[in-house]
């Protein structure tokens, strides 16, 4: 293979890697059909609501939490919601969550099979019973935003993405958080007709 073909393949591989890095995170969203986002004009931060998905978060970076809060505020403003001058004047409260937890999956499960091999009676057909699915350990990262009715405390809207920003700092963390929050707010319910 000459240098031109190698260079083209390398360029294609780099382009594919760059494009895969630009993918939009998959958003999971839910809305309370008995409540309406259209009633929200001013918001306050929901300090007494702690969004927890399953087990407690293992750890979270408070600097990234601040970045998340700023990104949420910018997206709320773009959707026409403004911060309330005082919490009592808010129509809605906004909760958020960012963090990572370790998940361990895997357990034994029954299985059977047939084959040929050496056994009690020598070489021949045989069967086996039992199997083990080795533990699979991974980090589950989550960025979530929740909107509540300030008066009734009922949830209105929830959205989250699976993003692990635990190891990220500085501009890398800022970029990943901004992309995640933009994806979340792309799913924000329409206000009005």
Structure tokens at 76: 């709320």
Report the mean per-residue pLDDT for the chain.
Answer: 77
Rounded percentage of the chain residues whose pLDDT exceeds 90: 44
For residue 47, name the pLDDT band (cuts at 50, 70, 90): confident
φ, ψ dihedrals at 112, nearest 5°: -145, 165
CA 142 – CA 95 distance, rounded (Å): 13
pLDDT tens for each residue of 145-167: 999 999 999 999 999 999 888 77
Worst-scoring range by mean pLDDT, 20-24, 40-44, 101-105? 20-24
- The pLDDT tens digits for 110-140 are 555 555 555 555 555 555 555 555 777 777 7
Strands (E) in 48-119, as ranges, are 82-83, 92-105, 108-119
What's the angle, vertex CA 52, arms to CA 47 and CA 54, rounded to 5? Answer: 170
CATH architecture assignment, domain 25-117+124-186: 2-Layer Sandwich (3.30)
Query: Is residue 32's pLDDT more than 70?
Result: yes
Per-residue confidence (pLDDT) for residue 140, from 0 to 100:
78
Who has greater pLDDT, 67 or 6?
A: 67
pTM: 0.68
Burial 157-168 (b: 16+ CB within 10 A, else e): bbbbbebbbbeb
């Amino acid at each position: 293979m000459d240098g031109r073909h190698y260079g083209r393949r390398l360029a294609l591989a780099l382009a594919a890697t760059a494009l895969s890095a630009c993918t939009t995170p998959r958003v999971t969203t839910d809305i309370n059909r008995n409540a309406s986002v259209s009633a929200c004009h001013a918001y306050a931060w929901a300090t007494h609501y702690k969004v927890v998905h399953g087990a407690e978060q293992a750890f979270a970076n408070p600097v990234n939490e601040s970045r998340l809060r700023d990104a949420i505020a910018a997206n709320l403003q773009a959707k026409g919601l403004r911060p309330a001058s005082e919490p009592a004047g808010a129509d809605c409260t906004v909760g958020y969550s960012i963090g990572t937890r370790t998940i361990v999956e895997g357990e034994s499960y029954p299985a059977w099979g047939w084959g040929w091999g050496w056994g009690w009676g020598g070489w021949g057909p045989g069967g086996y019973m039992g199997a083990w699915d080795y533990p699979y350990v991974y980090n589950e990262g989550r960025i979530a935003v929740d909107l509540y009715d300030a008066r009734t405390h009922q949830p209105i809207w929830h959205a989250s993405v699976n993003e692990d920003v635990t190891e990220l700092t500085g501009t890398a963390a800022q970029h990943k958080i901004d992309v995640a929050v933009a994806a979340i707010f792309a799913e924000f319910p329409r206000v009005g007709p």
